[in-house]
């Protein structure tokens, strides 16, 4: 009996992460993931009792290290580094520590989780690592500050890892969405057509992970049809 492929998704309980989990479950994959401890995570555990879900605060390096050790024991076909944070502010005006906090979640956690899954992927000579970036990692903008820095750095991680893992048969994909209607936009007075849906981004991630093994989409840039906000 064939074993269903498995994907691990950080930030699995809401937004793009939840939409990706739903899409991969619909496609017959096993889904595992992590999120900060919350009632939302508890409810998801009840909804998907078969899923391997970890209560992890990725802001905490010690918890990232503990999760990495657990991931090293899982047979994963794909890793989606989805969890991230946007804290507005200019480089000259944002509060002390904002860069460090943003980099911990948007760069360092993906770095360590990717390292954790690589030994088993290399042994099997297959697997896909998807890093969820942003168009803010392609073009800087005012009030983007540490967020832009972190997403540009995540692009660098994806590109370096892609070159390193070519001979190992492992795909590395950077997905850079523009404005997506998640909870981070709660209360906006902008019309829905100015945004993409999380489900639209999930379709792109699904495509990247299910192409034939000999093909990789290195960079996916997604924007609302009407263009970027601002």
Exposure b/e, 26-65, CB count within 10 A at least 16 = b: eeebbbbbbbbeeeebeebeeebeebbbbebebbeeebbe
CA distances (Å), origin 112, targets 9, 63, 77, 162: 14, 11, 17, 16
141 annotated active-site: no
Of 59, 111, 141, 147, catalytic: 147
Locate tokens 């192409």: which residue? 211
As given in the structure block, the two tokens for residue 59 are 């802001």
The residue among 1, 59, 3, 2 whose CA lies nearest residue 34 is 59
- C-alpha–C-alpha distance, residues 169 and 36, integer Å: 32
Q: Is the distance from CB of 180 to CB of 228 less than 8 angstroms?
A: no
Q: Give the residue numbers marked as catalytic.
A: 147
């Amino acid at each position: 009996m064939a074993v269903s492929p498995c994907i691990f998704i950080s930030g699995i309980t809401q937004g793009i992460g939840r939409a990706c989990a739903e899409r991969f479950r619909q496609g017959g994959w096993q889904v595992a993931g992590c999120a900060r401890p919350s009632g939302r995570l508890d409810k998801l555990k009840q909804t998907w009792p078969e899923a391997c879900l970890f209560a992890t605060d990725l802001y905490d390096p010690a918890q990232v290290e503990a999760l990495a050790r657990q991931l090293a024991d899982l047979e994963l076909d794909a890793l989606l580094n989805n969890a991230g944070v946007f804290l507005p502010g200019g480089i000259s005006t944002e509060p002390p520590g904002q860069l460090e906090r943003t980099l911990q979640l948007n760069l360092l956690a993906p770095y360590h989780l990717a390292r954790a899954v690589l030994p088993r992927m290399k042994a099997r000579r297959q697997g896909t690592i998807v890093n969820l970036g942003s168009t803010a990692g392609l073009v800087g903008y005012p009030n983007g500050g540490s967020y832009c820095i972190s997403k540009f750095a995540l692009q660098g991680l994806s590109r370096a890892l892609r070159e390193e893992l070519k001979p190992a048969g492992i795909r590395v994909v950077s997905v850079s969405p523009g404005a997506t209607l998640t909870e981070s936009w709660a209360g906006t007075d902008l019309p829905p057509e100015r945004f993409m849906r999380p489900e639209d981004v999930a379709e792109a991630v699904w495509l990247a992970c299910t192409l034939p093994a000999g093909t990789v989409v290195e960079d996916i840039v997604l924007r609302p049809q009407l263009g970027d906000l601002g």
